């Protein structure tokens, strides 16, 4: 589908858009058809996170838990003792926001094969306001040992990520956005957990993005090249943990400058993970873009991104400033 560009640089006229949630549903249905041990637990948000098709197709494998995210996650853990692969679904603000202790002590300490699906993550949850705009989930999940953290960038990649997490025997957190996102990857695109994708090569600066911000990075790269003659390399860091250190290092050795962008607090997020790694192994100048230590508010998702500086324009501006210096 095409969307109209209304004074919003995050949406380019040539972009087509898809739904990350639909990608999740498609991946879930695909994996569930192949593996009958996959079960789904949901905390009263079945339609919203698009598990309704699963619930309808596999009623005996679906558990409506009611509004009880703590019990949901631990009940999912319990099902692993019956060899199930449970997917526990709610909004990211509550799952893992509300049930972090259950995630840490329940799922991760025992390395249980549980999948935590955090829907409606980030600022683009929009009109629901700050309570529902989870901007700290990458920070609180990536610090837990044994946990895999995946933030897919578009519908197709979300499908692949969902299938991939169902096939690895580890606790995994999958972060999903609600807003329509720019289609970047295709059926043939390579996807492997823990292996970042270099989407466009470049020599002057490395732009590392995750989730819906990958599309903004690609659009910024085009502007930088056509208007300023700057060649930026764009990396889609879909797996935050384990971090693909090799791909980062390879790129940064070439460019020597890094910008990160994510729909998350700049404190503790993907950008912080990149900083931690590079400050140890190969210190370079890094600028992190994201939510700057504040809460969001109600509004249209893409308008909010503009207001809070998570945008194509902001990337271009930051790149020009870094290169000028």
Q: Is the Cβ of residue 107 or residue 305 nearer to other proteins in the bound state?
A: 107
Q: Is the Cβ of residue 7 or residue 81 nearer to other proteins in the bound state?
A: 81
Query: Cβ of 186: how many Cβ atoms within 10 Å?
Result: 9
Q: Which stretch binds other proteins (CB under 8 A): 78-86, 192-200, 277-285, 292-300?
A: 78-86
Q: Which stretch binds other proteins (CB under 8 A): 56-64, 124-132, 182-190, 198-206?
A: 56-64
Shortest CB 54 distance to other proteins, Å: 15
Residue 232 contacts other proteins per CB under 8 A: no
What are the residues facing 136 on neighbouring strands?
A: none
Which two tokens mark 198? 């270099």
Cα–Cα distance measured from residue 268 to residue 149, given in angstroms and rounded to the nearest whole number: 13
Query: Count of alpha carbons within 13 Å of 206, Cβ hemisphere only?
Result: 26
Say how many Å lie between the first and final Cα of the chain, rounded: 40
Among 40, 51, 74, 261, binds other proteins (CB under 8 A): 74
Shortest CB 72 distance to other proteins, Å: 8
Q: Is the Cβ of residue 71 or residue 231 nearer to other proteins in the bound state?
A: 71
Residue 84 contacts other proteins per CB under 8 A: yes
Contact indicator for 23, 156 with CB cutoff of 8 Å: yes
Shortest CB 248 distance to other proteins, Å: 33
Closest CA to 206 of 156, 244, 174: 244
Cα–Cα distance measured from residue 72 to residue 194, given in angstroms and rounded to the nearest whole number: 27
Cα–Cα distance measured from residue 273 to residue 107, given in angstroms and rounded to the nearest whole number: 22
Shortest CB 24 distance to other proteins, Å: 22
φ and ψ of 225, to 5 deg: -75, -45
Site for other proteins in 87-106 (CB under 8 A): 101-102, 105-106
Shortest CB 120 distance to other proteins, Å: 21
Q: Is the Cβ of residue 112 or residue 182 nearer to other proteins in the bound state?
A: 112
What are the residues facing 134 on neighbouring strands?
A: 121
Closest CA to 193 of 167, 156, 154: 167
Provide the 8-state DSSP code for 61: G
Taking CB under 8 A as the rule, which mask of x and - marks residues 110-139 in contact with other proteins? x-----------------------------
Residue 77 contacts other proteins per CB under 8 A: yes
Residue 146 contacts other proteins per CB under 8 A: no
- Mapped onto helix, strand or coil, the DSSP state of residue 161 is helix
Query: Count of alpha carbons within 13 Å of 166, Cβ hemisphere only?
Result: 28
Shortest CB 158 distance to other proteins, Å: 26
Active-site residue (options: 19, 36, 64, 69)? 69
Residue 207 contacts other proteins per CB under 8 A: no
Contact indicator for 202, 255 with CB cutoff of 8 Å: yes
Q: Is the Cβ of residue 67 or residue 168 nearer to other proteins in the bound state?
A: 67
Catalytic residue status for 69: yes
Q: Are strands 17-18 and 181-182 parallel, antiparallel or unpaired?
A: antiparallel
Q: Judged by CB under 8 A, how many residues of this single chain contact other proteins? A: 27
Which residue numbers are catalytic?
A: 69
Residues in touch with other proteins (CB under 8 A): 39, 41, 60-61, 63, 65-66, 68, 70-71, 73-79, 81-82, 84, 86, 101-102, 105-106, 109-110
């Amino acid at each position: 589908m095409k969307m109209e560009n209304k004074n919003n640089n995050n949406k380019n006229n040539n972009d087509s858009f898809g739904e990350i949630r639909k990608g999740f549903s498609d991946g879930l249905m695909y994996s569930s058809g192949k593996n009958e041990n996959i079960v789904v637990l949901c905390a009263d948000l079945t339609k919203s996170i698009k598990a309704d098709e699963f619930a309808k197709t596999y009623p005996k494998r679906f558990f409506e838990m009611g509004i009880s995210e703590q019990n949901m996650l631990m009940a999912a853990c319990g099902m692993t003792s019956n060899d199930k692969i449970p997917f526990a679904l709610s909004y990211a603000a509550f799952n893992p926001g509300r049930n972090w202790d259950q995630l840490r002590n329940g799922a991760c300490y025992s390395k249980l094969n549980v999948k935590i699906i955090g829907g409606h993550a980030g600022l683009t949850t929009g009109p629901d306001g700050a309570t529902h705009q989870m901007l700290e989930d990458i920070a609180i999940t990536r610090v837990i040992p044994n946990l895999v953290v995946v933030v897919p960038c578009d519908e197709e990649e979300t499908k692949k990520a969902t299938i991939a997490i169902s096939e690895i025997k580890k606790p995994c957190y999958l972060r999903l956005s609600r807003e329509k996102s720019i289609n970047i990857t295709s059926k043939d695109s390579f996807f492997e957990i823990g292996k970042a994708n270099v989407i466009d090569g470049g020599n002057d600066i490395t732009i590392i993005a995750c989730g819906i911000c990958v599309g903004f990075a690609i659009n910024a790269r085009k502007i930088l090249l056509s208007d300023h003659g700057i060649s930026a390399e764009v990396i889609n860091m879909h797996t935050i943990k384990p971090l693909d250190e090799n791909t980062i290092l390879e790129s940064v050795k070439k460019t020597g400058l890094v910008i990160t962008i994510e729909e998350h607090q700049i404190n503790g997020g993907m950008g912080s993970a990149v900083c931690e790694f590079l400050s140890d192994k190969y210190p370079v100048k890094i600028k992190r873009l994201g939510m700057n230590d504040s809460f969001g508010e109600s509004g249209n998702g893409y308008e909010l991104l503009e207001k809070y500086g998570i945008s194509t324009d902001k990337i271009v501006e930051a790149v020009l400033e870094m290169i000028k210096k």
